C-alpha cells in the first residue's frame, strides 16, 4: 500500500506513521518554571542528534510546559525511561496544570543535577543535563493547523549510575530502556536482545570486506 500524508488516505483504523518510525527513544524531560515549580513529561519525538557537540532534540505538539519552561529558563534534563519505571513514566504524561509537579503525582524522587537547576529522576540510571540552544517549528499541518516546537539542547553534563558501568563500558541492555512504537505499543531492550556488529571495511574499489569474513564482489 501507499498513502499520501496530506490526504491521510491509508484506510487503516489509525494513522500508522508512529508505528513505522519505531522504536523511538523516550526523552523524559524535566524542567523548572519561572517560579521554580518542577515539571516532568515523556517525549518520544526525541533523539540525540549529534555527539560533538552533544545535542538532543525534543518536540512538543501544541502548548507544552516542557518546551515553554526550557525556553524561559534555558535548561532541561532528559532522564532515561526504563522498564522498571514504565508506569511512573506513563503517569508523568498526565496533562495537568503547570502548577502541578509531575514528580509528585508519578511518585518519583528528585535528585539534584550537577550543572543545571532542573532535577533529574533519581530512580533513573541516566540523566543528560542540557542547556537550551534554540527552538524551531514544523510547518503548520494543513488539516488541523497544528505545529510542533522542536527544542534543541546542548548536553553539558551526564549522570550515569555506576552500577551499570562494567569493564569500562556502559551496559545499556542491563538498564532495560523502553521506547515508543505506534498506538499504545512500547518496546524494551533486554540484555539478550543486544547484538554487536563492527563497522564494515572496504577495499580501494569499494568492495565490502566482511562481515561475511571474505571479500564480496
Ligand atoms: C511515551 C510517551 C511519549 C510522548 N511523546 C510526546 C512527544 O514526543 N511530543 C508531545 O508533544 N507529547 C508527547 N507525549 C505526551 C506528553 O507527555 C504530554 O502531553 C505531557 O502532558 C506534556 O507535558 P508538559 O505540558 O508538562 O510538557 C508523550 C506521552 C507518552 C506517554
Q: Is 120 in the pocket of ligand 1 (CB under 6 A)?
A: no
Distance 202 CA to ligand 1 centre (A): 43
pTM for the whole structure: 0.95
**Which pLDDT tens digits describe the chain residue by residue (217 residues)?**
999 999 999 999 999 999 999 999 999 999 999 999 999 999 999 999 999 999 999 999 989 999 999 999 999 999 999 999 999 999 999 999 988 999 999 999 999 999 999 999 999 999 999 999 999 999 999 888 999 999 999 999 999 999 999 999 999 999 999 999 999 999 999 999 999 888 878 888 888 876 665 554 5
Q: Is 149 in the pocket of ligand 1 (CB under 6 A)?
A: no
Atom of ligand 1 nearest to the CA of 40: 26
What pLDDT, on a 0 to 100 scale, did the predictor assign at position 209? 77
Q: Is 47 in the pocket of ligand 1 (CB under 6 A)?
A: no
Q: Is 42 in the pocket of ligand 1 (CB under 6 A)?
A: yes
CB of 31 within 8 A of CB of 66?
A: yes
Question: 17-209 — its CATH code?
Answer: 2.30.110.10
Q: CB within 8 A of 34, min separation 6: which ones?
A: 69, 72, 73
Please tell me the residue having the least CA distance from ligand 1 atom 9.
60
Please report which residue ranges of the chain form alpha helices under DSSP H: 17-20, 65-73, 86-91, 102-105, 172-175
Atom of ligand 1 nearest to the CA of 180: 1
What pLDDT, on a 0 to 100 scale, did the predictor assign at position 20? 98
Among residues 111, 106, 66, the alpha carbon closest in space to that of 90 is found at: 106
What pLDDT, on a 0 to 100 scale, did the predictor assign at position 127? 98
Q: Is 30 in the pocket of ligand 1 (CB under 6 A)?
A: no
What pLDDT, on a 0 to 100 scale, did the predictor assign at position 214? 52
Q: Is 85 in the pocket of ligand 1 (CB under 6 A)?
A: no
What pLDDT, on a 0 to 100 scale, did the predictor assign at position 12? 98
What pLDDT, on a 0 to 100 scale, did the predictor assign at position 215? 52
What pLDDT, on a 0 to 100 scale, did the predictor assign at position 206? 81
Distance 99 CA to ligand 1 centre (A): 17
What pLDDT, on a 0 to 100 scale, did the predictor assign at position 62? 86
Please tell me the residue having the least CA distance from ligand 1 atom 18.
93
Domain chopping of the chain, boundaries: 17-209
What pLDDT, on a 0 to 100 scale, did the predictor assign at position 210? 67
Phi, psi (deg, nearest 5) at residue 118: -60, 140
Look-up of cell digits 508519578:
106
Neighbours of 175 (CB within 10 A): 22
Residues β-bridged to residue 38: 32
Amino acid at each position: 500500500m501507499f498513502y499520501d500524508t496530506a490526504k491521510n488516505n491509508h484506510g487503516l483504523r489509525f494513522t500508522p506513521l508512529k508505528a513505522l518510525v519505531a522504536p523511538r527513544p523516550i526523552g523524559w524531560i524535566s524542567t523548572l518554571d519561572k517560579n521554580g515549580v518542577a515539571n516532568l513529561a515523556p517525549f518520544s519525538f526525541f533523539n540525540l542528534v549529534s555527539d560533538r557537540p552533544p545535542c538532543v532534540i525534543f518536540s512538543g505538539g501544541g502548548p507544552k510546559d516542557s518546551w515553554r519552561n526550557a525556553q524561559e529558563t534555558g535548561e532541561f534534563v532528559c532522564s532515561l525511561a526504563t522498564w522498571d519505571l514504565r508506569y511512573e513514566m506513563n503517569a508523568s504524561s498526565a496533562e495537568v496544570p503547570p502548577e502541578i509537579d509531575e514528580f509528585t503525582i508519578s511518585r518519583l524522587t528528585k535528585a539534584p543535577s550537577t550543572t543545571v537547576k532542573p532535577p533529574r529522576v533519581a530512580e533513573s540510571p541516566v540523566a543528560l543535563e542540557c542547556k537550551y540552544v534554540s527552538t524551531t517549528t514544523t510547518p503548520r499541518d494543513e488539516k488541523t493547523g497544528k505545529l510542533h516546537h522542536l527544542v534543541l539542547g546542548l548536553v553539558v553534563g551526564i549522570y550515569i549510575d555506576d552500577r551499570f558501568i562494567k569493564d569500562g563500558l556502559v551496559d545499556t541492555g542491563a538498564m532495560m530502556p523502553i521506547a515508543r512504537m505506534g498506538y499504545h505499543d512500547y518496546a524494551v531492550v533486554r540484555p539478550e536482545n543486544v547484538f554487536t556488529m563492527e563497522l564494515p571495511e572496504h577495499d580501494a574499489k569499494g568492495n565490502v570486506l566482511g562481515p561475511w569474513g571474505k571479500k564480496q564482489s
